[in-house]
Structure 1
């Protein structure tokens, strides 16, 4: 296990280097000049040239890349071209809402989708199975922003149970924190509930046909014990893969949800940075997201041996 863990860590290094180079070149070679954006339309060529020199944009691209990589390895992602604030400071300020939303969404997803998938597989062909599959199709088909506006209209405006928009940190109390996360978390999790429920159902259907499931039932074990201890554990590898990937997608794909519910997270930050061509902020967020993908994939691979004892690295 330790050797596998080390090999995966070493394999992630060239992946991150290639990604960093791709992101750097993609942004630098795209049309537009950040110096012109910062200086404004009325700036003289001399003022634009002065800003380019101050930002190091007048140097060759490879020189800019090596300087940027050296600073990044020291934990310095640079300064925002627009706000003149440290990029790490900006990300740290916006990280809590996004991570909180993603964690709440993945909790809702697992608690709802896995039992639904297990029940659908257990009652294959019944009305319960058809209902779960129909709900899954709706979850896949309806855009996230539409679901967001529907839950706002029903639970916030009509019923008045929850706040409409905004975010409150844990410092304001758990009640304020949780009440403002319920609707956006349910909205964000809608697609993943449909995906994981279908994946759970498909995996369970394969496992329920195995001989050891019939043996467990023949021994007189309760149906709940057979389903959740024997069948679900052996069907857990593909389910864990989808759950882990879904969490990474939630962190990086909360742009629409944060916009609908007015949450000041990384999604709003990346939109503002792209519109302003704020290179350091865009690069830092993309690399942070890529690092999260690598880390979660590593955790998923390591969890296989825990979930399924037949797997050993």
Structure 2
């Protein structure tokens, strides 16, 4: 088991390094001059050269990359070209709304999607199965921003049950926080629920015909215990894989959802930084996203060893 964990951890290091190289080269070779953005349209050539020298943009690419990597390892992601604040402070200030919405979305998705998939597999071919599959197709096909605007129109404007936009920290007013994260969380969860429910159904159908399931039923166990205790646990490995893979949808969906619901999180910061060509912030956000994605997949791999003891060996 420890060797398995060490191998998975070491395998993540080249991935992060490769992402760092591509992020650095992609943004450095993109048309647009950061020095011109800082100085403005009326800047003289001398002012532009001075700003480039200050930012290290006059150095060779390999020197710039080495300096950038060393600074990141020290926890210095640079300074925002627009706000002139440390990038790490900007990310720290904006990350909690995104974290709360992401955690609530994942919890809602798993709580709703897994029982839906189990029920659809148990009632295969029935109207319940067709209803779950129809919802899965719609949920995965409709864009996030369309779902968000539909929920705003129905529950915020017509029924006036929830606020339209904005965010309140839970430490400030938990009631307002809960009311404002419901619609964004369900908007994000619509795709996630469809994906997990579909995979749960498909994975469970593969194991319901196994000998150990028939043996459990022959022993007189209740159908609920057979489904959740015996069948679902053995079908959980592909489901956990989908949860980890679908995390990419969650990250991309946050960008759109926070823009629709006007939430000051990492998604909004990403959009604002891209439009402003704020290279240090964009680089930090992409690296953070890649790091989170690698970490989630590492945790998913670790969970395999608990769901299936054979993987430990």
TM-score, length-normalised on structure 1?
Answer: 0.97
Shift of 1:72: 0.5
Gapped runs of 5+ residues in structure 1?
none
Between 302-311 and 64-73, the greater mean CA deviation after superposition: 302-311
Q: 2:208 aligned with 1:212, yes or no?
A: no
Between 50-59 and 67-76, the greater mean CA deviation after superposition: 50-59
Q: 2:306 aligned with 1:306, yes or no?
A: yes
Q: Measure the CA separation in 2 of the matches of 1:249 and 1:192.
A: 8
1:203 matched residue in structure 2 = 203
1:131 matched residue in structure 2 = 131
2:59 matched residue in structure 1 = 59
2:100 matched residue in structure 1 = 100
Checking the alignment, whether the CA contact within 8 Å between 1:248 and 1:292 is kept in structure 2 is no
2:122 matched residue in structure 1 = 122
Q: Measure the CA separation in 2 of the matches of 1:21 and 1:141.
A: 33
Q: Measure the CA separation in 2 of the matches of 1:25 and 1:312.
A: 39
1:144 matched residue in structure 2 = 144
Q: 2:187 aligned with 1:187, yes or no?
A: yes
* Structure 1 residue ranges (4+ consecutive) displaced by more than 3 angstroms after TM superposition: none
Shift of 1:174: 2.1
Q: Measure the CA separation in 2 of the matches of 1:311 and 1:65.
A: 39
**Aligned-residue CA RMSD (Å):** 1.2
For residue 181 of structure 1, give the secondary structure of its aligned residue in structure 2: helix
Give per-residue Cα distances to partners, 1:239-281, cap 9 Å, x unaligned: 0111123235413541110011001111111111111211111
Checking the alignment, whether the CA contact within 8 Å between 1:119 and 1:129 is kept in structure 2 is yes
Checking the alignment, whether the CA contact within 8 Å between 2:184 and 2:261 is kept in structure 1 is yes
Checking the alignment, whether the CA contact within 8 Å between 2:192 and 2:250 is kept in structure 1 is no
Shift of 1:178: 1.4
Q: Measure the CA separation in 2 of the matches of 1:101 and 1:7.
A: 32
Shift of 1:229: 0.7
Give the number of equivalent residue pairs.
Answer: 313
Checking the alignment, whether the CA contact within 8 Å between 2:247 and 2:293 is kept in structure 1 is no
2:43 matched residue in structure 1 = 43
Give per-residue Cα distances to partners, 1:39-97, cap 9 Å, x unaligned: 11111111111111111111111111111111110111111111110000000011001
